[in-house]
Structure 1
Amino acid sequence: MGRIIAVANQKGGVGKTTTSINLSACLAEKGKKVLTIDVDPQGNTSSGLGVNKNELQYTIYDLMIGNCTVSDCLVENVFDNLSLIPSNVNLAGAEIELIGIDDREYILKKEIEKIREMFDFIIIDCPPSLNTLTINAMTTADTVLVPIQCEYYALEGLSQLIHTINLVRQRLNPELNIEGVVFTMYDARTNLSLQVVENVKENLKQNIYKTIIPRNVRLAEAPSHGLPINLYDSKSAGAEGYRDLADEVINKV
């Protein structure tokens, strides 16, 4: 039975999509069967995995509104062991189209349950907002992984996210837990990065991953080539960081 991890933080630019792509790819590299689900209308995870999001017959949008089955929109083996349910800008309209539909918070969960046993890990990239799509991701997931950028406003909005996760647990998905916090865009040359890490550790009563993802030029370049970092530059600091994170995720019970 696949472990389902939603990667969420309503703050933009914290490395959610980068983490979704590269954690998925590094888990797949280690022989795990992985499904990545792009629940962000920007579709950056889809294009970052080399899928042309504008030429797809079916996406997660069609799945959510009942236009296709889960197997129709599943793009199998975009890389070895890694499949994708893609997204594009059409998904932005789903919020309105789902108004008034019964159990709309569970649409994704019901569909993913049908294929869950095919995968070891299912990684869901959430949009940078707390909306119906994010709620669907959280009702589907077992845990939420929270990327935090090593910058001054790192803690801002985090309490709101934790509040939302707690609400979802109380009302919609009692099994939901916080997988943990992972620091991204760490710059060893600045005192600020170090201070942010220490500050979050002091203030946050959550599991914090030992792996810290460095700020890395190769990591920023990889999506424009439609490749995860482990295939774009296997020896880069970014690739090593996400391999370490994948090891931690695998070994976490």
Structure 2
Amino acid sequence: MNKIFAVANQKGGVGKTTTCVNLAASLVASRQRVLLIDLDPQGNATMGSGIDKSELQLSVYDVLTSEMDPRKAIVATESGYDVLPANGDLSAAEVELLDMDARETRLRGAIDRIGDDYDYVVVDCPPSLNMLTVNALCAANGVLIPMQCEYYALEGLSALINTINQIQQVANPDLKIEGILRTMYDPRNSLTNDVSEQLTEYFGDRLYSTCIPRNVRLAEAPSFGKPALTYDRQSKGAIAYLALAGEMTRRHAANSRPAVAEAS
């Protein structure tokens, strides 16, 4: 079974798109087949993967609104992962989906058609709760939540968890929190450490041990249309996302391992 992650946080500026692009590249480096779905009308994950959103003939908009075969819109990247790209057209889909049948499960239907082609599907959600985010949460089997260790981030996290619980009850009972990822992490900051301790206490092993540091190379890479791993493999940001990919794949390998019966 492939892993479908919605990378979501209703608070903007937490490194959500950075996480999607760099996690996709790092999972490929771990020999996984990866599809990145850009579900944000800003198209930042598309551009950050080296795809010019202004030249797209087909995009995730067409897949959602006309139920087109996703393979027609998927673009391969130099970093080894595929992208179902987005541009400003996707803003119209937020409104158009409201009048469509199965509006919450359009993305799920698209992924079902191509799921066997990939080991991991990573969905970059917009920084708001709208029909696009609902589609991502209905399609996913896990939510990866990037967040900064600051006070207001905790408030946003609470709202997102409530949303996840509602989706579980109404549309996707298999949905769970895959993990909490601390981004822009600076251990010299006392507030960072305080919030980190609260996250550890509340989420336990759902909090990734990997932390993503503030890193200049990580911030520069999108302007070159590359993940940090392609832009500067030795940068602290690239190394951190490689560590995250390793932590994720080890978790999944452990969870999928059959239980050993005790000797009688």
Q: 2:163 — aligned with what?
A: 164
SS in 1 for 2:4: strand
Structure 2: unaligned runs, 5 residues or longer:
256-264
Q: Deviations over 1:105-129 (max 9, x none)?
A: 0001111101001101000000000
How many Å separate the matches in 1 of 2:92 and 2:182?
Answer: 32
How many Å separate the matches in 2 of 1:190 and 1:232?
Answer: 28
Q: 2:260 — aligned with what?
A: none
1:181 paired with 2:180, answer yes
Deviation at 1:205, TM superposition (A): 6.1
How many Å separate the matches in 1 of 2:177 and 2:98?
Answer: 28
How many Å separate the matches in 2 of 1:121 and 1:136?
Answer: 17
Q: 1:55 — aligned with what?
A: 55
SS in 2 for 1:195: helix
Question: Alpha carbons of 1:243 and 1:205: their partners in 2 closer, same or farther (altered >3 Å)?
Answer: closer
Q: Which amino acid aligns with 1:161?
A: L
Q: 2:25 — aligned with what?
A: 25
How many Å separate the matches in 1 of 2:175 and 2:169?
Answer: 9
CA contact (8 A) 1:31 1:81 kept: no
SS in 1 for 2:58: coil
Which structure's CA Rg is the greater one?
Answer: 2
Question: Alpha carbons of 1:206 and 1:128: their partners in 2 closer, same or farther (altered >3 Å)?
Answer: farther
How many Å separate the matches in 2 of 1:143 and 1:91?
Answer: 23
Structure 1: unaligned runs, 5 residues or longer:
none
CA contact (8 A) 1:5 1:124 kept: yes
State how many pairs are aligned: 252
Q: Deviations over 1:195-223 (max 9, x none)?
A: 22112223446710000110111100000
Q: Which amino acid aligns with 1:18?
A: T
Q: How does 1:118-129 map to 2 (within 5 A)?
A: 118-129=117-128
How many Å separate the matches in 1 of 2:104 and 2:162?
Answer: 17
Task: Report the TM-score, using the length of structure 2 for normalisation.
Answer: 0.92
Q: Deviations over 1:157-177 (max 9, x none)?
A: 211111111111111011111
Q: Deviations over 1:128-151 (max 9, x none)?
A: 001100010011111000001122
CA contact (8 A) 1:2 1:117 kept: yes
Task: Report the TM-score, using the length of structure 1 for normalisation.
Answer: 0.96
Deviation at 1:152, TM superposition (A): 2.8
How many Å separate the matches in 2 of 1:70 and 1:200?
Answer: 37
SS in 1 for 2:93: helix
SS in 2 for 1:235: coil
CA contact (8 A) 1:181 1:206 kept: no
Q: 1:194 — aligned with what?
A: 193
Q: 1:208 — aligned with what?
A: 207
How many Å separate the matches in 2 of 1:132 and 1:53?
Answer: 21
- Relative to total residues, which structure has the larger helix share, 1 or 2? 2
Q: 2:72 — aligned with what?
A: 72
SS in 2 for 1:157: helix
CA contact (8 A) 2:199 2:207 kept: no
Deviation at 1:25, TM superposition (A): 0.5
Q: 1:111 — aligned with what?
A: 110
How many Å separate the matches in 1 of 2:187 and 2:215?
Answer: 11
